[in-house]
């Protein structure tokens, strides 16, 4: 998925990251996946479309009404699902340059095994104290706990999702049915949302 009117970084999906457009990291890893037959980029932007084709992706021309600031990813997913034949969808948000085909393969295998209907990518976060913006404690009462005594949580990093077509059409959401997860190492889990992220990840990848 790569719409052209991203706000924090204009045309974020094709911004230069260490000599390559950001979207190329995702497309290149998808091409390495053993069970993926076709790689599509859903976009409303000609420049993103042209660059995606250079890296071997097919282009799905997204209806502009599904590329607005108010549009959800599900809007674009369902548009694609209603027009393209497939059994299992691997939905990649191309803002995670640490993506690896090994991670995607694991998610696909989990769904193909029949044990899961959908899978998401995440990292495991140990307990840390959290406050609202008005300094109200959110996940503790009076005192801090030892980290070992509190349950860790899974953070959905948006790197990729795998879902059966019928589950997506029935529920209109990317994660339904029996849900599984692929844990991503922290070093590969970062995603680019703004220029500060971009500068940090550029240094981490060098």
141 is a domain residue: no
C-alpha pair distances (Å), 165 with each of 30, 92, 112, 126, 189: 18, 15, 12, 33, 26
- CATH code at 20? 3.90.550.10
Q: How many CB atoms lie within 10 A of CB 52?
A: 28
4 is a domain residue: no
Structurally, how many domains does the chain consist of? 1
CA distance 1 to 60: 9
At residue 146, the pLDDT reads 84
At residue 106, the pLDDT reads 98
CA distance 62 to 95: 18
Could you list the residue range(s) of the whole structural domain that residue 104 is in?
Answer: 12-120+152-205
Q: Supply angle C-alpha 42, 26, 71, rounded to 5.
A: 35
- Banded pLDDT at 145 (limits 50, 70, 90): confident
**204, 187 contact by CB (below 8 A):** yes
- Exposed, middle or buried, 12 (CB in 10 Å: 0-12/13-18/19+)? buried
Give pLDDT tens digits for 105-132: 999 999 999 999 999 999 999 999 999 9
At residue 147, the pLDDT reads 82
Strands (E), 114-168: 118-125, 153-164
103 is a domain residue: yes
- The owner of tokens 């005594």 is 149
35 is a domain residue: yes
pLDDT mean across residues, the chain: 92
Could you tell me the maximum CA-CA distance found in the chain, to the nearest angstrom? Answer: 56
Give pLDDT tens digits for 27-86: 999 999 999 999 999 999 999 999 999 999 999 999 888 777 767 899 999 999 999 999
- The owner of tokens 């970062």 is 190
Give pLDDT tens digits for 163-193: 999 999 999 999 999 999 999 999 999 999 9
In the chain, what is the straight-line distance between the N-terminal and C-terminal CA atoms, in Å?
26
């Amino acid at each position: 998925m790569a719409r052209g009117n991203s706000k924090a970084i204009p045309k974020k999906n094709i911004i230069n990251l260490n000599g390559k457009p950001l979207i190329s990291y995702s497309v290149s890893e998808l091409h390495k996946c053993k069970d993926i037959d076709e790689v599509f980029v859903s976009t409303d932007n000609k420049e993103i479309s042209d660059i995606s084709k250079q890296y071997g992706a097919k282009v799905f021309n997204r209806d502009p009404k599904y590329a607005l600031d108010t549009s959800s990813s599900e809007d674009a997913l369902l548009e694609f699902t209603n027009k393209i034949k497939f059994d299992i969808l691997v939905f990649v948000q191309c803002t995670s340059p640490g993506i690896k085909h090994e991670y995607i393969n694991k998610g696909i295998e989990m769904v193909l095994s029949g044990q899961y209907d959908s899978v998401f990518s995440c990292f495991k976060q140990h307990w840390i104290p959290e406050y609202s913006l008005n300094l109200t404690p959110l996940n503790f009462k009076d005192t801090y706990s030892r980290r070992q005594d509190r349950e860790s949580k899974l953070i959905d990093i948006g790197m990729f999702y795998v879902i059966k077509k019928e589950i997506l059409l029935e529920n209109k959401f990317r994660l339904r049915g029996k849900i599984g997860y692929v844990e991503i190492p922290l070093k590969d889990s970062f995603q680019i949302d703004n220029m500060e992220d971009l500068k940090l990840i550029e240094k981490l990848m060098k």
